Structure 1
Amino acid sequence: MSASTHWLATGAAQSVLERGGTAVDAATAAAFVLHVVEPHLNGPGGDLVALVAPAGGAPFVLCGQGPAPAGATREHFAAEGLDHVPGAGALAAAVPGAVVAWLRLLAEHGTWELADVLQYALDLAEHGYPVVPRLATTIGAVEDLFREHWPTSAELWFPEGRVPEAGSTHTNPAYAATLRGLLAAGRTAPDRRGRIDLARRAWQEGTVAQALEEFAAKPHRHSDGRDHAGVLRAADLAAFRATTEEPVCRDFRGTTVAKAGPWSQGPVLLQALGILDHVGDDRLDPATAEGAHTIVETLKLALADREAHYGAAADPALLDRLLDPGHARTRAALIGTTAARELRPSRLDGEPFLPPLRADGAAAAGTGEPTVARDGETRGDTCHVDVVDRWGTMVSATPSGGWLQSSPTVPELGFCLGTRLQMSWLDPRSPSRLEPGRRPRTTLSPTLLLRDGAPVAALGTPGGDQQDQWQLLYLVHTLVGGRPPQEAIDAPAFHTTAVPGSFWPRTWTPAGLVAEERLGPEVLADLRRREHAVTVSGPWTLGRLSVVTRDPATGELGAAANPRGAQGYAAGR
């Protein structure tokens, strides 16, 4: 079974499975397809987080989140006249980690040759793929920026001198050539793993790394309205290693929920489930005002802890305390009858770090897709893919970053750098502060579910700060409400905006709650009476969640994908 945010990625993954490949082979093929067909949501210059459960083996987290380059110091940003990391431009680029991580996963846990895995993406880049409506909209939103300041991006994305129309066919021959270069670099190795390793080295130490350094060093327009040069160097790429680690887990209603650590926002979901463990099931129906209020207030508490305590510089011992059942009980007692309007992080060791609180004025309705201003200030979104194979191996991966609106296209490579460093604070007190060699705290947050140690589901969604919020709704619907996966995905969604956003300009809306109008007028009115600042979104606008499932007792497989946007797809046999 395969499910993803784009039908062509799902089709590629399913093709691999039908031809005898494993879930790892299939997910890797799908990921490179997503680089091509959803370039406004992810790219080769971006990053990823994945959870992998090998058949009969222990699950692990794959970290494809690159660190800050050696030159990305707070002193350098201050010298550039910046008090924050820009939202667009090469100064905001972490070391690209996605390609390196996928190649490591394929080498160590896959079975297919790299050439076969990449063929799907190569064909689409060379012969063309359909421009989805959101891609056309995103390109149109940055048209002036591209024409005035980023000419290499204009050259790639305006092939006929204008914004491509939705439904038209687009090609990326430069990226196809980049992929062919990786394959050519690996041909001299005598075995499969050697060929993949040589391709990885060509990416990290060869022409790709050199081209990224040379282009990033050229001053170009950033989201502060001024021109800066980036600090990424080829040596930063050469030094990066994709890593694996044990997931952080919590049991909820007989199911083990596995997440990445606090360098991601993954533990937010675990903290929220811990709080809901101390709430009666009669208060947990998301279709009711009481259920929506309880879930939103729970998320606000967990997300406040993310802001105060999460990050690569965080004390590892703090997570155990944040996930302690007694602490969760104390946090649950803070949920009142009306919406809280302040940020309330846990006070574990004195005064917690609080980021600057810049009010947005109004909650932002919509899907979490990229929003782009003419000055190049961007907020990008993400992709997702889930795969389970006939042997029971599961992969849940959330690739992101390197959006076409992140920074100018490197013309000979066909892609651009990401902007993940915008999630780092320049305040040295923050556990997610900017430091060379340190990973920025990421929003990427796939999920793996297990029962009695066996994987039973892999799921995730794009959406930035909303990823674990929408996944919490799915878990409440399925593990508490007993709904099947597709019904849980289709149910009316909502999320809170009462937390500083991870993307610049990092605003928040005290008591903010965004809800699909399908939640119903009576429920929405009740939430307003509870003093939530409600913004009503369209009926099918929030979330792009997908999932694959497996029953260990019978081997029966399942998959579900999001109908919102008419783009996600689930397939299987």
Structure 2
Amino acid sequence: MVYTAPSDFTTRPDLKGTFGMTSSTHWLATASAQAVLERGGNAFDAAVAGAFVLHVVEPHLNGPGGDLVALFATAADPSTPVVLMGQGPAPAGATVEHYRSEGLELVPGSGALAATVPAAVDAWLLLLQEHGTWELSDVLSYAIGYARDGHPLTARVATTIATVADLFREHWPTSADHWMPGGRLPAPGELIVNDAYAAVLENLISAGSEGVTREDRIALARTEWAEGQVAQAIDRFVRTPHRHSSGTDHAGVIRASDLEDFRASFEEAATLSFRGVTIAKTKAWGQGPALLQVLAMLEPLADELLDPQTAAGAHTIIEALKLAMADREAYYGDHDVPLDALLSEEYATTRRQLIGETASLEVRPGRVGGGGSEMPPIRTGYQPPAVADGSGFAGVRFAGVGEPTFGDLATAPTGDTRGDTCHIDVVDRWGNMVSATPSGGWLQSSPTIPELGFCLGSRLQMTWLEEGTASTLTPGRRPRTTLTPTLVFQDGQPIVALGSPGGDQQDQWQLLYLLRTIVGGYSPQQATDAPALHTTAFPGSFWPRTWEPGGVVVEDALGDDVIDGLTARGHVVTRAGDWKLGRLSSVSRDPETGVVGAAANPRGAQAYAAGR
């Protein structure tokens, strides 16, 4: 048996050139970033410009009140992967005791009690300050233009607003005023403006105007973000109770001092060698090392067992993912994680031996370094709270296959693609490369703060209110994020930047791409187009934190033979239809020739790659 050959058909060409490439989840962000490259900016200038555009044009998927994780390598030090850490911690007032006193068993999936310290903006400004070349005013001009002059609303944003319209009208009036002016739902293609956010960005530029150098000006803008208008407005706004996904009303605990105390940072990456290349991810405060654990388990297996388009390969991949995700629950968090042991060859061997001929229906963490933390509660179902007035979140869940989206608890399709998060990859002609996954602060996360034009994120829902788990809610600690971009290196040079929206599925879909390109010989676009699958057989990161024993979600294009083979092995298979799973985008560079490339996801008809 040999690895399944890629299809001769691709939805888009594999872009190739020598100047620079960008791929992102929205064409306006891609075009803006590419415009920066064309005007002499480097990959970092371009990524920051594109990212601020994503705040404006994909407000249902990310926002200034959210978070960000990126991996990058510089032309000056190409062999060293660096993590841009833009994940804010829990506020000082976010204690288990407080949430329990509010009658909560879970951190809500929406509302200010779910908010971490907003970190995305400061992280982007840090990257620009340290590795960019452009002035802040030039980088932000693209986002300011779309916010001030308007941009055509995508159908998915319009659908999201329509889905939560009743919630906005009844409980979040500031969101209704912002997204439904005059009480009317916006139509797809309608020009939408956000003057408040444009003013926030212009204020950051003004705050930096007294700086002597470019770096000084950006540093002053970062101080203004952390200590000025934004921090004060958030502090005032969250003190008024509002509806949360629990169906109850609560005030937030985040304060201006929480923003003042936070700054984004650079960190070392976790790496693993696999089949002649090196994969770089975040450390275990994020879910990224789970992908490395899977690759360590799969490394010595026959190629056909690494092929997701055979029943045996799909089964093997799924079972390895379940084992890694079980370890994620037991070990990963913002604390001292025994990552060297979890990524060791010895441990991978013991975990690999647990992959049997049939699907496991258990969550099976391993034992390293004296054992893991207490396992969080395993919820296989959820009964939504009753809401007395019949409005709010009753009967509504955060559904879909990635980050939270809204849908009916009973009928929301597993393959729904209305929500996820965002992603952007950039490579320039000098060899700088960045892969970034911004998220959080969705328009449906919490009520809009009127003077800012955006809302807070909801990443704290990834923590537990049970004591002793690896990700128990703790003031000052980061929740274990699902944001997980990837860099691939060969012979000490970055060759691929890769990422995807998709919450718990981000690393699962990226794994398929890596196996198909590294082992199967697929081109980037072939791997992006190829049928996807993922498992839901581990506790989800998002409220209401449920799981499905043996659960697997597949695209129909995987084929009846493979799908039937998974069912025969005991997997509980859900067909998502075609073109439903996976949101991959990537850029690449051949260090020997300087040829750069890009690929983008066709699903949802929104992602776009461009370059020359």
TM-score, structure 1 length as denominator?
Answer: 0.97
**1:7-51, Cα deviation, whole Å (9 max, x unpaired):** 000001100000000000000001100000000000000000000
What's the secondary structure of 1:495's corresponding residue? strand
1:277 aligned onto 2:306: no
What's the secondary structure of 2:315's corresponding residue? helix
CA distance 1:286–1:449, shift in 2 (3 Å): same
| Letter of the structure 2 residue corresponding to residue 286 of structure 1 | P
What's the secondary structure of 1:558's corresponding residue? strand
**1:377-406, Cα deviation, whole Å (9 max, x unpaired):** 9x9621000000110000000000000011
Equivalent residue, structure 2, for 1:446: 485
What's the secondary structure of 1:275's corresponding residue? helix
CA distance 1:266–1:351, shift in 2 (3 Å): closer
* Counterpart Cα distance in 2 of 1:280 and 1:237: 50
1:358 aligned onto 2:397: no
Instruction: Select the residue among 33, 36, 61 that pairs with 1:16.
Output: 36
Shift of 1:356: 1.2
1:413 aligned onto 2:452: yes
Equivalent residue, structure 1, for 2:62: 42
* Counterpart Cα distance in 2 of 1:439 and 1:566: 33
* Counterpart Cα distance in 2 of 1:467 and 1:112: 31
Within 5 A, what are the aligned runs for 1:125-524?
125-313=147-335, 315-316=336-337, 318-348=338-368, 349-350=370-371, 352-360=373-381, 367-368=401-402, 370-372=404-406, 381-524=420-563
Shift of 1:164: 1.2
* Counterpart Cα distance in 2 of 1:120 and 1:365: 32
Shift of 1:353: 2.5
Shift of 1:56: 2.8
Q: 8 Å contact 2:400–2:419 — kept in the other structure?
A: no
1:56 aligned onto 2:76: yes
What's the secondary structure of 1:258's corresponding residue? strand
| Letter of the structure 1 residue corresponding to residue 406 of structure 2 | V
| Letter of the structure 2 residue corresponding to residue 518 of structure 1 | A
Instruction: Select the residue among 67, 70, 88 that pairs with 1:66.
Output: 88
| Letter of the structure 2 residue corresponding to residue 452 of structure 1 | D
Structure 1: segments with no counterpart, 5+ residues: none
Shift of 1:367: 4.2
* Counterpart Cα distance in 2 of 1:336 and 1:309: 23
What's the secondary structure of 1:397's corresponding residue? strand
| Letter of the structure 2 residue corresponding to residue 169 of structure 1 | L
Shift of 1:128: 1.1
**1:25-80, Cα deviation, whole Å (9 max, x unpaired):** 00000110000000000000000000010113122101000000111111111111
| Letter of the structure 1 residue corresponding to residue 378 of structure 2 | L
Shift of 1:83: 1.7
* Counterpart Cα distance in 1 of 2:408 and 2:573: 28
Shift of 1:190: 1.9
* Counterpart Cα distance in 1 of 2:250 and 2:74: 44
**1:94-127, Cα deviation, whole Å (9 max, x unpaired):** 0000000111110011000000000000010111
| Letter of the structure 2 residue corresponding to residue 357 of structure 1 | I
**1:380-433, Cα deviation, whole Å (9 max, x unpaired):** 621000000110000000000000011100000000000110001111211111
* Counterpart Cα distance in 2 of 1:367 and 1:556: 34
Greater Cα offset, 334-343 or 185-194? 185-194
| Letter of the structure 1 residue corresponding to residue 276 of structure 2 | G
TM-score, structure 2 length as denominator?
Answer: 0.91
What's the secondary structure of 1:501's corresponding residue? coil
Q: 8 Å contact 1:66–1:97 — kept in the other structure?
A: yes
**1:444-478, Cα deviation, whole Å (9 max, x unpaired):** 00000001111001000000000000000000000
What's the secondary structure of 1:15's corresponding residue? helix
| Letter of the structure 1 residue corresponding to residue 326 of structure 2 | A
Shift of 1:202: 1.1
| Letter of the structure 1 residue corresponding to residue 98 of structure 2 | H
* Counterpart Cα distance in 2 of 1:280 and 1:345: 25
| Letter of the structure 1 residue corresponding to residue 356 of structure 2 | G
Q: 8 Å contact 1:365–1:536 — kept in the other structure?
A: no
Shift of 1:159: 2.3
Q: 8 Å contact 1:278–1:329 — kept in the other structure?
A: no
Structure 2: segments with no counterpart, 5+ residues: 1-20, 383-397, 413-417
Alignment identity in percent?
65
* Counterpart Cα distance in 1 of 2:600 and 2:308: 20
What's the secondary structure of 2:598's corresponding residue? strand
| Letter of the structure 2 residue corresponding to residue 51 of structure 1 | L
* Counterpart Cα distance in 2 of 1:569 and 1:207: 34
* Counterpart Cα distance in 2 of 1:140 and 1:74: 34
Equivalent residue, structure 2, for 1:555: 594
Q: 8 Å contact 2:61–2:440 — kept in the other structure?
A: yes
CA distance 1:374–1:413, shift in 2 (3 Å): farther
Greater Cα offset, 350-359 or 22-31? 350-359
Structure 1 segments of 4+ aligned residues over 4 angstroms from their partners: 364-367
| Letter of the structure 2 residue corresponding to residue 90 of structure 1 | A
What's the secondary structure of 2:494's corresponding residue? strand
What's the secondary structure of 1:388's corresponding residue? strand
Q: 8 Å contact 2:399–2:406 — kept in the other structure?
A: no
Greater Cα offset, 442-451 or 213-222? 213-222
* Counterpart Cα distance in 2 of 1:500 and 1:167: 38
What's the secondary structure of 1:513's corresponding residue? strand
* Counterpart Cα distance in 2 of 1:371 and 1:338: 32
Shift of 1:484: 0.5
**1:272-320, Cα deviation, whole Å (9 max, x unpaired):** 000001321121211111111111111000000000100003x33x111
